[in-house]
């Protein structure tokens, strides 16, 4: 299935708006959470909004502004979205534990899985596609 350039731009614009909304919601959640944390804060919570903003909104806007000649297939796109979501959730959970005053070695799993998902998405997208 081949999409026209305007359809690709429309999808990319919608995706940029969705990621922007997620970024705003993460920033709002961080502000509210830290307001009620009795003066304790975490940089992971403060900057949790940056993952969907930099990883989602900016690439989608890049595709709109400069044109996307080869949109990603379904699997790389899904892996990339899961990677960005894992980065965001991992940052928020790490922040919650830091604000609570504890830590867990399991939070490093979030970063490893997020990197694995994102990098595998990029590798799949850049690899040559097979024609059926």
The CA distance from 9 to 110, in Å, is: 32
User: Is 12 part of a structural domain of the chain?
Assistant: yes
Q: Is the pLDDT of residue 91 over 80?
A: yes
User: Is 131 part of a structural domain of the chain?
Assistant: no
* Predicted model pTM: 0.88
pLDDT digits (tens, 9 = 90+) for 61-78: 998 888 777 778 899 999
Helix 5-35 / helix 74-100 crossing angle, nearest 10 deg:
10
Residue span of the structural domain in which 25 resides: 5-126
Domain count within the chain: 1
The CA distance from 70 to 85, in Å, is: 23
The DSSP letter of residue 57 is I
User: Is 78 part of a structural domain of the chain?
Assistant: yes
pLDDT digits (tens, 9 = 90+) for 15-49: 999 999 999 999 999 999 888 888 888 999 999 99
**Quick one: pLDDT at residue 7?**
78
């Amino acid at each position: 299935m081949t999409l026209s350039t305007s359809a690709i731009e429309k999808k990319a614009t919608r995706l940029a708006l969705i990621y922007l909304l997620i970024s705003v919601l993460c920033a709002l959640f961080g502000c509210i959470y830290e307001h009620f944390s009795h003066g304790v804060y975490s940089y992971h919570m403060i900057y949790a909004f940056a993952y969907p903003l930099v990883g989602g909104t900016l690439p989608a806007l890049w595709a709109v502004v400069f044109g996307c000649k080869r949109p990603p297939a379904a699997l790389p796109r899904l892996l990339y979205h899961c990677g960005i979501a894992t980065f965001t959730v991992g940052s928020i959970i790490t922040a919650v534990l830091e604000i609570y005053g504890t830590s867990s070695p399991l939070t490093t799993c979030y970063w490893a899985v997020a990197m694995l998902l994102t990098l595998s998405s990029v590798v799949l997208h850049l690899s040559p596609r097979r024609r059926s």
